[in-house]
Amino acid sequence: MAGPDAAATAPEGDFAETMTRAMLAWLDACEEPELQRILLVDGPSVLGWARWREICQNHVLGMMEGVLAQAMAEGTVRELPVKALAHALLAVADEAALLISAAKDPAAARRDVMAVVGPIIDALKR
């Protein structure tokens, strides 16, 4: 499993590489049975959707908004509404993890997901 620092190893200013590594690290984490259960099943069920979402917004979305805002300020990402873009990218990541976790062939599902995610990330570059 890739560690939480996987995304941090991308060259500074390389938005697409950083986002791709972050997605891969998230998918790696979600492939671990214990984490998959906590992150995708039990967390929302035990805490309730509202609390689960609040935690996500305070941590993951805040970090993602910061990365996007910085990339936009540096001119490496197209100027778009940061909050909406962060939510959209988080939705892509979460749905990708759910798709892969439920797939009969997780490796094939992951390849398909990354075939879609790559162009989405590339489309954001300036």
Alpha-carbon distance 77 to 80, whole Å? 8
Task: Please list the rounded mean pLDDT of every run of 10 residues in the chain (126 residues).
Answer: 41 76 89 82 86 83 90 94 94 92 93 95 92
Establish if 72 belongs to a structural domain: yes
| pTM assigned to the model | 0.80
Residue 11, pLDDT score: 45
Establish if 7 belongs to a structural domain: no
Give the residue numbers spanning the domain of 112.
13-124
Count of structural domains within the chain: 1
Establish if 4 belongs to a structural domain: no
Establish if 1 belongs to a structural domain: no
